[in-house]
A and B are shown apart, each in its own frame.
Chain A
Amino acid sequence: DQQVKQNSPSLSVQEGRISILNCDYTNSMFDYFLWYKKYPAEGPTFLISISSIKDKNEDGRFTVFLNKSAKHLSLHIVPSQPGDSAVYFCAAFSGTYKYIFGTGTRLKVLA
């Protein structure tokens, strides 16, 4: 049973435009959400996180939005750059389940 879902396996965006990556979760016990970026042959690297008590967190070009009633979060990257091309994982954290990762979305930013 997939508690964290990323329903879009891939996404292509033009350079300079906005990239929106989506993530849905099923368990309301999650109290912290994180986004990771992964390049080939490397481990995931942390991008941005959000606590369940907030609905938005911004860090430079990256913004994460959390809609608790819909159990949905999204990562916005604007403007998108070719170096952003990678696989993006969302992860949810709770004391019980620790970290649950989604299956990832492969973002391709076209120059």
Chain B
Amino acid sequence: ETGVTQSPTHLIKTRGQQVTLRCSSQSGHNTVSWYQQALGQGPQFIFQYYREEENGRGNFPPRFSGLQFPNYSSELNVNALELDDSALYLCASSLAEQGLGDEQFFGPGTRLTVL
């Protein structure tokens, strides 16, 4: 059984650029969630996808968008990057239908730095 993987590990971008982060969920996990973790903070929920449809969204602007694919992979896209977008981005997958509070399996994260 492979775990949740994310790529790239680290990324440096400049203000105004666009970025795509990738996640590969555990096989069979239909739910994927994305989180932003700023330094010294807990993970903040960005959005969740279930069977390729957005299933919930946190307090993040529309320039944060996502996609989930049938092969258990997903993407987080951020447009018009701002300095405050610098953070660790985590994806987490779970078996639970529509994320019913079940155990989530987290990837190691992508560290994004915006200069």
Interface residues of A (CB under 8 A from B): 4, 6, 31-32, 34, 36, 41-46, 49, 89, 91, 93, 95, 97-104
How many interface residues does B have (CB within 8 Å)? 24
In the A-B complex, list the 4 residue pairs whose CB atoms are closest, starting with the nearest: A43-B106, A32-B101, A101-B42, A93-B101
Chain A contacts of B99 at CB under 8 A?
Answer: 98-99
Chain A contacts of B108 at CB under 8 A?
Answer: 41-43
Given contacts A41-B108, A43-B90, A44-B90, whether A102 and B42 have CB atoms under 8 Å apart is yes
Listed A/B pairs (6) with beta-carbon separation below 8 Å: A46-B103, A49-B101, A89-B43, A99-B43, A100-B45, A101-B44
Nearest A residue to B6 by beta-carbon distance? A43
Nearest A residue to B37 by beta-carbon distance? A101
Q: Decide if the interface of chain B is mainly helix, strand, loop or mixed.
A: loop
Interface residues of B (CB under 8 A from A): 4, 33, 35, 40-45, 48, 56, 58, 90, 92, 99-101, 103-109
Residue from the set A95, A98, A100, A101 with the largest chain B CB neighbour count within 10 Å: A98
Q: Which of A45, A95, A103 contacts B106 (CB 8 A)?
A: A45
Nearest B residue to A4 by beta-carbon distance? B42
Q: How far is the CA of A100 from the CA of B41 in the complex (A)?
A: 12
Q: How far is the CA of A36 from the CA of B58 in the complex (A)?
A: 20
